[in-house]
Amino acid sequence: MRTVIFDLDGTLADTSHDLIGAANACFQALGQGAPLDPAIDAGTAFQGGRAMLRLGFERLAHPAVEDAVTAQFPLFLDHYAAGIDRHTRLYPGAIDAVERLRGAGYAVGICTNKPEGLAETLMRRLGVRDLFGSLIGADTLPVRKPDPAPYRAAVERAGGAVGMSMLIGDTVTDRETARAAGVPCVLVGFGPAAASVAGLAPEAVLGRYDDLFELAERLIPRGASA
Ligand SMILES: O=C(O)COP(=O)(O)O
Ligand SMILES: [Mg+2]
């Protein structure tokens, strides 16, 4: 079955505001104010919790940034879980595109570097979890993106074949994952990294979700051995 696998943060949903809120809650608990700004730091938010904490501690000129990041990360996850869908919104047209793919017989799934439990919770709160045949998170397997194993698992658990699949994502991690799996990569061109995604040489840049179906039809092989 031909398959489209979606990244979550920055691809299906704009999670940046809630991610930054959770990171700032860590700094506030340390008496350090709120060094991250949702309007400016969304691109860092989409690189994950550790990247946000690192940026905040660097701005605060912390003397041992990596140790501080490691210490705060579990607290960040707790704060994030508490407000996971406060501001988070699916991108316009994303679910229409998923439904169109499903209607045409494609399998669809999710491969994210969010912890699986948080990704499950978020997709259920947004009311769209059951549209996806698989959900692989950062901790589902012993390795995470850009290792290709989570991607392959997302395809196979959705009922598809890797050689007839593609990944849609938003960062260099997704680009490298697709390359490692040997599949086409579409990167979204509507997020904070819009200016730089073309430089990652994806097979296509998606400006709006209305165009995804035609891209899948064009990029995904119709038959493959893998
Ligand atoms: O949480 C992260 O590190 C990024 O998550 P994503 O893979 O869904 O973009
Ligand atoms: Mg992402």
The structural domain count of the chain equals 2
The average pLDDT across 17-29 equals 98
97 lies in the same domain as 204: yes
Structural domain of residue 52, as residue ranges?
16-82
Using 50, 70 and 90 to split pLDDT, how confident is the model at 226? very low
Instruction: Give nearest CA residue, ligand 1 atom 2.
Output: 48
Q: pTM of the full predicted structure?
A: 0.96
Is residue 225 included in any domain, yes or no? no
Q: Is the CB of 174 under 6 A from ligand 1?
A: no
The one-letter code for the residue type at 46 is F
Indicate if the pLDDT at residue 168 is higher than 80.
Answer: yes
116 lies in the same domain as 215: yes
Question: Counting Cβ atoms within 10 Å, is residue 4 exposed (0-12), middle (13-18) or buried (19+)?
Answer: buried
Q: Is the CB of 9 under 6 A from ligand 1?
A: yes
Is residue 226 included in any domain, yes or no? no
Answer with the one of 82, 105, 137 that is the final residue of a domain. Answer: 82
Token representation of residue 64: 């041992």
The residues, any chain, with a CB within 8 Å of residue 94's CB and separated by 6 or more, are 12, 13, 209
pLDDT tens readout for residues 107-119: 999 999 999 999 9
Contact 2, 48 (CB under 8 A): no
Task: Please report the ipTM that was assigned to this predicted complex.
Answer: 0.95
Distance CA 149, CA 97 (A): 25
Contact 114, 150 (CB under 8 A): no
Distance CA 197, CA 188 (A): 8
